[in-house]
Structure 1
Amino acid sequence: MSKVVMNTARDESRVNLRKTLREIRNSISPEQRAHSALLINNQLNSLQYVATASSIAGYLVNDGEIDLSAFIQNTFMRDENSNTKLMANTAIKSTPHLSSSTTFSLPVLHPICKGHLLFLEYGPDTPLVKNRYNIDEPELACHNVMPTHCIDVILMPLVGFDNKGNRLGMGGGYYDRTLAFTQFTQFTQQRPILVGIAHDEQEVDSLPYASWDIPLDVIVTPKRILTFSNI
């Protein structure tokens, strides 16, 4: 079989699998979605590298994805509590160890580099706009851009996954292009931990993957935490 035919078969398989998994994802009841969101929040908060991260990127829920709102709000509260403690300790001239505040950011479609993402800081009062896919994203402001290589943890939505850390996205390739740098040796010491967030129902035995697909370090579901790299 020629390489072109093999690639065509792979692409058709991905398209069909994506359609099936999106239907499964969207068939999950509102009650289960709400429960899954709470379980994911607990799972994420149990991870040391998440609890100690100074910068985390996530996403706003769309198309049946697991809602990260509870985790995002907890991150905001952690930041507020850290700032409050810092002010109190400064007032009494005491300097005990404090966990650093956490900057949260969201992906934004890159206005210049087609098919890429930027990450912009996101807070409770950040203005949002709809992008071309009708998804909320922070209003573009250059001073709020967070360099991708400086983010500690990136929480990524997905359509499907397997037990090898492969991720099937929505098909646009935005995360794969944006995170391609993580595969180069010079960035091994400074790169985000890539965490896929999914319903357990989105797992498949094996995903057809391409050379440009970026593997995940971790996949977190309501029931499991699957780790694929030394982190």
Structure 2
Amino acid sequence: MESLHQDDDKRALRRSLRRQRQALSQHEQRLAAQRLCQQLKTLPEIRRARRISLYLPVNGEIDPMTLLPWLRKRKVEVYLPVLRPFSANALWFVAYHSGTPMVKNRFGIWEPDLRFGAQRRNRLPAWALDTLIVPLVGFDNSANRMGMGGGFYDRSLAFMHRPGPAPTLIGVAHACQQVASLPVEPWDVPLQVVVSDQGYVRRQ
């Protein structure tokens, strides 16, 4: 019974945090994205990355794409997550340029169109990236992450529970998405740091 209550609590918290970020005006969203970009530029994990994945924001998610011009100037290869076809809630990462053909996936989110052969050749598994910028619904003072509930990043990054090459994981969010503590599940993949428009918290 206790786990049922925990699930209900988690769902309620997820709903509440999503409502908070969706309540932000377009002006507040733009300002938060610019401030996030300034914070990200100071991180050594970002400054040394040669291959990095961003994401296109939906439903009030903070926008990391403001970092794109700065990354391009530094000759960093930028990737976007794509739903893996015929796979249960897992992601590939596909190279992204200004001319990349895009298509909406089944959730209505824009992603590089894998029907183009060049796109398929430009895809990488997560372990081949240096740094992943990961969206989230909530985070806590220890850099634990609450995702959307679909498990896409947890499944795609499950290899990080085993030895081997692994990217740096950086969560990004609005400051209003921070809570004191979140429940941690065994399958959760830990982030190294969570960055918001007002600062960051590192995993201890």
Match of 1:157 among 128, 135, 138: 135
Q: 2:165 aligned with 1:194, yes or no?
A: no
| Superposition pairs of residues 1-231 of structure 1, within 5 angstroms | 5-79=1-75, 102-140=76-114, 141-184=119-162, 186-187=163-164, 190-228=165-203
- Could you tell which deviates more after superposition, 200-209 or 155-164? 200-209
Letter in 2 for 1:32: E
Equivalent-residue separation in structure 2 for 1:214 and 1:205 (angstroms): 19
- TM-score normalised according to structure 1 size: 0.83
Task: Check whether the contact 1:162–1:207 (CA below 8 A) recurs between aligned residues.
Answer: yes
Count of residue pairs brought into register by the alignment: 200
How many angstroms apart in 2 are the aligned matches of 1:65 and 1:144?
A: 26
| Matched letter for residue 86 of structure 2 | I
Q: How many angstroms apart in 2 are the aligned matches of 1:168 and 1:25?
A: 14
CA distance in 2: counterparts of 1:127 and 1:177, whole angstroms: 26
Question: Are the equivalent residues in 1 in contact too, given 2:171–2:195 (CA < 8 A)?
Answer: yes
Q: Write the deviation string for residues 89-117 of structure 1: whole angstroms up to 9, x where unpaired.
A: xxxxxxxxxxxxx1110111110221111
Partner secondary structure for residue 211 of structure 1? coil
Report if the CA contact (8 A) 1:76-1:124 is conserved. Answer: no
Which range is displaced more, 201-210 or 129-138? 201-210
Deviates more, 1:15-24 or 1:67-76: 67-76
Q: Is the 8 A contact 2:142 2:202 kept in 1?
A: no
Distance, in Å, in 1 between the alignment partners of 2:177 and 2:83 is 25
CA distance in 2, matches of 1:200, 1:70: 17
- TM-score (norm: length of structure 2): 0.94
Structure 2: tracts of 5 or more residues without a match: none
d(CA) in 1 for partners of 2:175, 2:188: 21
Higher Rg of the two aligned structures: 1
Question: Secondary structure at 2:88's aligned position in 1?
Answer: coil
Q: Secondary structure at the match of 2:46?
A: helix
- SS of structure 2 residue aligned to 1:134: coil
SS at 1:40's partner residue? helix
Q: Secondary structure at the match of 1:137?
A: strand
Structure 1 spans left out of the alignment, 5+ residues: 80-101
Q: Is the 8 A contact 2:53 2:80 kept in 1?
A: yes
What is the deviation of 1:17?
A: 0.7
